[in-house]
Amino acid sequence: MYLSGFEKTILSGSTGQRGDQMALEIVAETARMLGAERLVEIESSHIDGCLYHGDSGVLFCEKLVTEGARIKVPTTTNVGALNLLKPDQTRLPPEQRKMAFRLMVAHEKMGCTPSWTCAPYQAGMRPTLGQQVAWGESNAVAFTNTVLGARTNRYGDFLDIACAISGRAPYYGLHKDENRIAEMLIDVSGLSPSLISTDAFFPVLGAMIGRLAGETVCVVDGMPKHATDDQLKALCAGAASTGAVALIHITGITPEAPDAATALGGLEPKEIIHITHDMVIEARNSLSLAKAGPIDSVALGSPHFSNEECRSLLTLANGQKFKVPVYICLGRHTLEQLEADNADKDLRNLGAEFVVDTCVVVTPILPESPGVMMTNSAKFAHYATGNTGHAPVFGTLFDCVKSAQAGHVIWDQGVWG
């Protein structure tokens, strides 16, 4: 594998800190294992490794800190296991809580921007078309590739921070032109225009894409050209939960996909799938394990809820209080926007509880399981059972609000036509 003169001096230890050498050893070793011919310089990083999985990861990051490792490119942090504004919100045993905190602190000490959000692209971190970056967190990876046209693979624990410290990533996969070409065509033009522009269609389509495409790069043709960031966020999160999806070309939206032929690199797709209305309904139903009846909570914000989503919730609630806890997971940047005009107080008065810096499927916050959790997020629905013991019910944001106010599932079938 080719290494530049500078990379060689870091690896030899003649330049930089021992922590720099450790990070580049990890990146170079991984590149060699992947069969990459060289490394690529990156312009930003988003770190998933700040979520506590065990003491070993904490000890590794603290060793990096001790050995002088500091990030070399703008780097944001994904969620940790704690709400730092309200540490008691998480029911972790005290020892684990302490270690989870130490892990978050270690990332700050390495120079990361403490964003603690899974939607960094809505917190000001927006790589641009063609930029090489090393991002973790599956939804953020998919959004960055799909919506912004920046280039990243799915980076995870340890490799993400090693890339941020070395400013480099293995040059393979989606960093390279030839691997970004779509091989599968997913055609949604047979669906009604009202369905494909409704908010709740996006996470459902995402869940379908993940199952259909897996790791394959696909192009989705026939979507409306003016989808919002929140809609695309929900689509990317759904796809990256049910499959190892890192890039979805959406014609007219993805900068590299003005049309399907361009996304396919001028070649015929290996597979064409025409999405029918029945397939959409089946995919929607698959996101609910509990059917109807009482609910114990509503969970919103996977990925983290935006200012606009919080305000839609407030409008839909129309002043009527919730009968079950409504957890809104969001970044502090969004909470500050709500505080500017007391919208946070209005939401709390309805019975909403804010979860910042973390979210309810990565750390124990929901009521004791078993229970039933309603959500408008395909990602929450996908991970609820395994991570929390709560059975998910999927619905629109309107359904979630009405169900929270009633204490049991209310579905409005109208939007599904």
Binder among 10, 40, 42, 49 for another protein (CB under 8 A): 49
Q: Is 328 helix (H, G, I), strand (E, B) or coil?
A: strand
Segment 195-254, which members bind another protein (CB under 8 A)? Answer: 244
Rank residues 173 and 331 by Cβ distance to another protein and give the closer one: 173
Segment 141-160, which members bind another protein (CB under 8 A)? Answer: 154-159
Report in angstroms how near the CB of residue 111 gets to another protein at its nearest. Answer: 19
CA distance 301 to 251: 26
The structure tokens listed for 386 are 């395994």
Give phi and psi for 373, each to the nearest 5: -115, 125
Q: Is 329 helix (H, G, I), strand (E, B) or coil?
A: strand
Report in angstroms how near the CB of residue 219 gets to another protein at its nearest. Answer: 23
Strand partners, 352: 326
Our CA angle for 132, 134, 139, nearest 5°, is 110
Residue 34 lies near another protein (rule: CB under 8 A)? yes
Report in angstroms how near the CB of residue 352 gets to another protein at its nearest. Answer: 29
Segment 53-82, which members bind another protein (CB under 8 A)? Answer: 53-57, 59-60, 63
Report in angstroms how near the CB of residue 162 gets to another protein at its nearest. Answer: 8
**Residue of 254, 257, 180 lying closest to 217 (CA atoms):** 180
**Residue of 382, 199, 204 lying closest to 279 (CA atoms):** 204
Strand partners, 298: 326, 374
Q: What's the number of CA atoms in the CB half-sphere (13 Å) around residue 102?
A: 19
Rank residues 51 and 330 by Cβ distance to another protein and give the closer one: 51
135, 90 in Cβ contact below 8 A?
Answer: no
Residue ranges of E strands in 158-201 = 168-170, 184-187
Site map (CB under 8 A) of another protein, residues 102-141, x = contact: ----------------------------------x-x---
Site map (CB under 8 A) of another protein, residues 11-30, x = contact: -----------x--xx--xx
The structure tokens listed for 388 are 């929390």
Binder among 5, 35, 93, 319 for another protein (CB under 8 A): 35
Strands 248-250 and 218-221: parallel
Rank residues 23 and 185 by Cβ distance to another protein and give the closer one: 23
Residue ranges of E strands in 49-154 = 75-77, 134-135
Report in angstroms how near the CB of residue 49 gets to another protein at its nearest. Answer: 7
142, 236 in Cβ contact below 8 A?
Answer: yes
74, 39 in Cβ contact below 8 A?
Answer: no
Rank residues 312 and 387 by Cβ distance to another protein and give the closer one: 387
Segment 168-197, which members bind another protein (CB under 8 A)? Answer: 170
Binder among 17, 286, 312, 387 for another protein (CB under 8 A): 387
Rank residues 26 and 174 by Cβ distance to another protein and give the closer one: 26
Report in angstroms how near the CB of residue 60 gets to another protein at its nearest. Answer: 6
Rank residues 198 and 387 by Cβ distance to another protein and give the closer one: 387
How many CB atoms lie under 10 A from the CB of residue 94? Answer: 7
Choose the binding region for another protein from 8-16, 33-41, 266-274, 314-322 (rule: CB under 8 A): 33-41
Site map (CB under 8 A) of another protein, residues 266-305, x = contact: ----------------------------------------
How far does CA 300 lie from the centroid of its chain? 13
Report in angstroms how near the CB of residue 386 gets to another protein at its nearest. Answer: 6
Report in angstroms how near the CB of residue 238 gets to another protein at its nearest. Answer: 16
369, 265 in Cβ contact below 8 A?
Answer: no
Alpha helices in 180-288 (DSSP H): 193-196, 201-213, 229-242, 260-263, 277-286
Rank residues 136 and 331 by Cβ distance to another protein and give the closer one: 136
Q: Which residues bind another protein (CB under 8 A)?
A: 22, 25-26, 29-30, 33-35, 48-49, 51, 53-57, 59-60, 63, 136, 138, 154-159, 170, 244, 386-387
